[in-house]
Structure 1
Amino acid sequence: MSESLSLDRRLLDIKIGAVVMVNGKSYRVDNIISFSEVLGVDMDTKRPKLLNIDELELAPTEYRGSTQLSLDDSEISDEYWQIALERFALIKPIIESSTKADVEAIAKASGNHFTTVYNWLKLYRAQKSILSLVPRKRGWRESKTRLDLQSETILRKVIEDFYLTAQKPSISKVITLVVIQCTKLGITPPHANTIRNRINSISSYQRLKAHGEKDKVRDKYSPASMSFPGADAPLMYVQIDHTPLDIIIVDDEYRLPIGRAYLTLAIDVFSRVIVGYYLSLDAPSAISVGMCLTCSILPKNKLLLDLDINATWDVWGVMNTIHTDNGADFRTDYLSRTCLKYNINWEFRPIGGANFGGHIERLLGTINRELHTVPGATFSNIQQRGSYDSEEQSVMTFRELERYVVTWITKVYHHSKHSSIGMSPIKKWEEGIWGTSKSPGTGLRPKVADSQTLLIDFLPEFSRTVQRYGIEIDKLFYYGDVLRRWIGAEETGNSKRKKKFICKRDPRDVSTIWFYDPETKMYFRLPTAKQEIPAISIWEYTQVQKYMAESGKNCTDQNAIYDAILELREQIKTSSKITKKTRRAAQRQRLHQTTSIKNTNVVINKNVAIHTEEHTESFWNEPVSGYIDVR
């Protein structure tokens, strides 16, 4: 029977008085002891007990059955998603706090009734997800209008080409121009309030910049030296970026050079603590960002256990805003959609605004400078490296490098004085959470109720029909009993079109996919139709397809694919001593097999064991020295 998953995006708010579950028993949180423990009172016996935060679960409630937090993207049309985005833009300024006058003003400006806006606000505050704003019923009420594709295109074009210019036209002129252009085409123009609402949803930064107000943009949005506007508490702003590490590593088997690894890092701007990371031999991509975010949000006790590091990394929780540059790996629709489901805002660094990303870039530079003291360092440039032979001196495997980096994060960087904040990052973090004699803390951040749902949400998705052979993605066929009833399914009301279903796939292991069943509203893990096909990453599989095409083989023949995988792996194995490229390919293959979602240190379900590995290197028993001052 296929492994299944019901989506659960609820958040567990850990605060005094909250009712939680541990191993099927109910407890009331009586006190919060630390980042890892709370004091709970057994609801039956009334006896107190120390509870591990990692084991806390949400108590079952009637609310769960009616919530929209379990909606999958396949159940939300682009039209409905746009409606949710527009509703979110309306209430965003008053989500944190509002008065009746604020709600009435927004309702009036947008042409909605006061109670409608109030209900949207109430739903969002309760569920903390944009999914709460998705329309519940299909169809539109008579009192509402929607824009067809033509009028939507005209509105957007007028705003971009006419309103967002240095001439600073008034809103009334924008309305007039939209009406004129729609009338010419014989279509009904949008209501004036709809146009005003769309213009009001434009960010102040975008408006000022388009209007040529460079001085105002600089004064209002350029951060002062070593500061960041709005980052006045833990997890208000988290910056993410990538870097190739300045060190050559060796493969596990022959301990010969295979090149550099890539590090994706996330930093809390308020405290400068590192909230998460992702290390890979693959170039940065959307999956790097998604895995770094899941690491940032989830507790890291299992991660430290897996790496055999005796340290604490009590940094976790859902952040308010993610801040990144404008790279293609960050501008991915499914990533921004997923973040909005968890009440996470995504902001891009203004083009040309290098000072907005200084915190993460300085940190990445600090880590690379730390690695310059390790054998195999490439240094930052040829001048620094001189005659040093990085490949000849390289000694660290990928796993050892990961342990080194995490050890440095948890034992050195977090506890070293940071010149910008005048204390260590971990002390600043703790002050922000627990408070000081002069200022209150924020308390613990909400914890995701289901780590597996979080992981599934951040995986790339595909839309496919179900055929007699199953589902095809990149010439691989996937099949399971759950697909039988959907073979040849047609779109509702349109017998000429086949129904498409949502699938999720981990690029690090394409031997399985997650199929969403719209009737049971559950995800099912499906293997390839030829179940002998081993765990294989999309990068290795791409090489397999290239090899088959060059050899004149049928690229859709599942038996031929299986044979080609084994053949190429055997070639890599026999030639590993010869070329660095093949050694790197072999190492990447091993890493993908151990770091895919099937083998992640986050437990998939109660019956899946956590991957562990013994480490006996005496090197890691040596003390780690740190900087007196970290910039």
Structure 2
Amino acid sequence: MYPCQPSKKREDNMAPEAENSLVLRENVAGEWEIINAPLELPGEVQQQIEAIQKLLAVQGTERYGRVQQQVAQQLGISVRSVQRLLKRWREQGIASLPRQKRSDRGAAKTSREWQEFIQKTYQDGNRGSRKMSRAQVYLRVQAQAEANGVKEYPSRPTVYRILRPLLKQQQQQKRTLGWRGEQLKVNSREGLEIDIEWSNQVWQIDHTQIDLLVVDMSGEILGRPWLTIVVDTYSRCIMGMHIGFDAPSAAVVCLALRHAILPKQYSSAYELKQSWGTFGLPQYLYTDGGKDFRSQHLEQVATELGIVLCLRRKPSDGGIVERPFGTFNREFFCTVPGYTGSNVKERSDKAESEACVTLVQLEQMLVRYIVDHYNQALDARMATQSRIARWEAGRMAQLPLLGERELDICLMRRDRRVVYRSGYIQFANLTYQGEHLAAYAGESVIIRYNPRDITTIYIYQLLESKEVFLTRAHAMGWETEILSYL
């Protein structure tokens, strides 16, 4: 039990109801509650007490740091201020919580002319495609003061304070109707409302055709490849991806999903400084209503893996998965030779002559950008936490590891072939041999393969409507190479 105001020694003749102390007590449900509270508390004090309750409820647990940051955002103060608030309350009780009102509180200390100049400068600087930050507005204030020979002008904090209502309004306009304060929820076409509370709870998938021309090994232009990404809604981490020339389809979605689910390991050719540590299974897969997301194939895969498929109510609900494409263009694709630009009318005439990157090279560069930069970048809502750190902090428990064979039956492309007498299979103008395959000579088998590397295929036999894994087969003469089938 913690006192909410400094305890005083009770006189023997003092009735319990005469004591006017406030305490927070842990009830039988394990929750902290206020007892002996007055009938009304100022709103600000009540908010602070509720914040203290949240901190006490998770003290000593791994969630404490995360809740501390949430409380700081809720109260509009720094984490350090939250720590001081809790320290004051422990030492002085509830008497320490109300803020002392200043006699000049609410009085405007900045002239109306300066306020109007600051607001107008910010609004004019953010019209159309133009972007102006608060820091740039402050520089304009400095320049205006120097031009007019004024020595006293609004400080940087004052400029930020004057712009705060405009920034708040702008933030509310940008956020979709799914936001409730700092809590995000997604709404499905089926009527589901999902509060986003942890990592791997809801994944989102989408495609885009990259604004970049790639070439083959001889330097001939192949065109613009398609990129499919899987994004974790809670952390905004890129969980997985697929890049190739196949147009969006259920098969492409499944390949991207397979990459997201499995732990990822890369050779030294990728030159990674960090590791792509994300993996696991989502509870929900949240997508648009395209036919690739409504296919029987994807439904079967989701059923096998225990994933709930959800469709977005409207296109504007897809901002979380669509926003990274714009970031990729601004920060990565525009730096690669062969970049065409996103505006069709303004595309560079030099893109074709400059194009020199193959699909394999582009995939390596993109993986390096995602792992070492995008996932390591600070999350917009948690200014002190990167996307990958937020994903790791939001993991509810030890994640189960699925093996590649468990996912092959669901996520890789499928075809049928006949095993020849000497135990080999013909596919894509290649000859494959596998251990013990000769025992199935003359039989029709199912092959599954990854189109990005068909040097190895996986052989299954259909028994009582169930695919049973037999063996893997390797392309003869290609054992140490990578060969795509895109």
TM-score (norm 1): 0.40
Q: 1:305 to 1:327 in 2, by over 3 A?
A: farther
User: Residues 378 and 420 (structure 1 numbering): CA distance in 2 closer, same or farther, change over 3 Å?
Assistant: farther
In the alignment, structure 1 residue 227 sits paired with structure 2 residue 184: yes
Q: Does 1:516 align with 2:470?
A: no
Larger Rg: 2
**Correspondence list, 1:75-474, <5 A:** 223-224=178-179, 227-229=184-186, 230=194, 231-252=196-217, 254-300=218-264, 302-303=265-266, 305=268, 307-350=270-313, 353-370=314-331, 371-385=333-347, 387-422=348-383, 423-433=385-395, 442-448=396-402, 450-461=403-414
Q: Match of 2:100?
A: none
1:506 — aligned with what? 449
Q: Give, as a single letter, the amino acid of the residue that structure 2 aligns with 1:248.
A: L
Report the number of matched residues: 291
Contact 2:414 2:449 in 1 (8 A): no
Judge conservation of contact 2:285–2:308 (CA < 8 Å) in 1: yes
- CA deviations over 1:459-502 (Å, ceiling 9, x no partner): 24468999999999999999943435x86xxxxxxxxxxxxx77
Provide the rounded CA distance (Å) in 2 between the counterparts of 1:534 and 1:237.
Answer: 39
Structure 2, unmatched stretches of 5+, are 1-175, 187-193
Residue type matched to 1:278 in 2? H
Please report how far the alpha carbon of residue 321 of structure 1 lies from its aligned counterpart in structure 2 after TM superposition. Answer: 1.1
Supply the distance in 2 between the matched residues of 1:237 and 1:288 (Cα, whole angstroms): 19
Relative contact order (alpha carbons < 8 A, sep ≥ 6): 1 or 2 greater?
Answer: 1
Judge conservation of contact 1:222–1:355 (CA < 8 Å) in 2.
Answer: no
Separation (CA, whole Å) in 1 of partners of 2:248 and 2:382: 30
The 3-state SS of whatever aligns with 2:198 is coil
What amino acid is the match of 1:234? S
Deviation at 1:507, TM superposition (A): 6.5
Q: 2: CA distance between counterparts of 1:326 and 1:473?
A: 34
Query: How many angstroms does 1:506 deviate by?
Result: 2.5
Amino acid at match of 1:455: D
Say whether the 8 Å CA contact 2:272–2:372 is kept in structure 1: no
Change (3 A) 1:327 1:468: farther
Q: Which residue of 2 aligns with 1:592?
A: 484
CA-based RMSD: 4.0
Q: 3-state DSSP class of the match of 1:234?
A: coil
Distance apart, 1:236 and its partner CA: 0.4
Deviation string 1:275-317 (CA, Å, 9 cap, x unpaired) is 00111133233332122111111111x2254523232221111
Q: 1:408 to 1:469 in 2, by over 3 A?
A: closer
Amino acid of the structure 1 residue aligned with 2:468: M
Q: Is the 8 A contact 2:286 2:311 kept in 1?
A: yes
Give the direction of change, closer, same or farther, for the CA distance of 1:475–1:430 in structure 2 (3 Å limit): closer
When residues 243 and 411 of structure 1 are mapped into structure 2, their CA distance, relative to the original with a 3 A threshold, is: same
Residues 527 and 272 of structure 1: is their aligned pair in 2 closer, same or farther, counting only changes over 3 Å? closer
Q: Distance in 2 between matches of 1:347 and 1:502?
A: 34
CA contact (8 A) 1:250 1:256 kept: yes
CA distance in 1, matches of 2:365, 2:398: 28
Verify the 8 A CA contact 1:478 1:526 in the aligned structure 2: no
One-letter identity of the residue aligned with 2:221: P
The question of whether the paired residues in 2 share the 8 Å contact of 1:456 and 1:504 is answered with: no
Q: State the AA in 2 paired with 1:414.
A: N
Distance 2:288 2:365 in 1: 27
Aligned-partner Cα distance in 2 for 1:510–1:329: 27
Q: Give the AA of the match of 1:522.
A: V
Q: CA separation of 1:326/1:482 partners in 2, compared to 1, >3 Å: closer, same or farther?
A: farther
Q: CA deviation at 1:335?
A: 2.5
Q: Is the alpha carbon distance of 1:473 and 1:286 closer, same or farther for their aligned partners in structure 2, counting shifts above 3 Å?
A: farther
Question: Hey, what's the Cα distance between the residues in 2 that align with 1:534 and 1:426?
Answer: 37
Supply the AA of the counterpart residue of 1:243.
Answer: T
Alpha-carbon distance in structure 1 between the residues aligned to 2:202 and 2:440: 42
Q: Answer whether contact 2:460 2:467 (CA < 8 A) is retained.
A: no
TM-score, normalisation: structure 2? 0.51
On the 8 A contact 2:408/2:448 being kept in 1, the answer is no
1:89-145 superposed Cα distances (whole Å, 9 cap, x missing partner): xxxxxxxxxxxxxxxxxxxxxxxxxxxxxxxxxxxxxxxxxxxxxxxxxxxxxxxxx
Change (3 A) 1:309 1:459: same
Q: Do the aligned partners of residues 590 and 281 (structure 1) sit closer, same or farther apart at CA in structure 2, a change above 3 Å counting?
A: farther
Preserved CA contact (<8 Å) 2:235 2:391: yes
Instruction: Determine the C-alpha separation between the residues in 2 that align with 1:364 and 1:390.
Output: 20
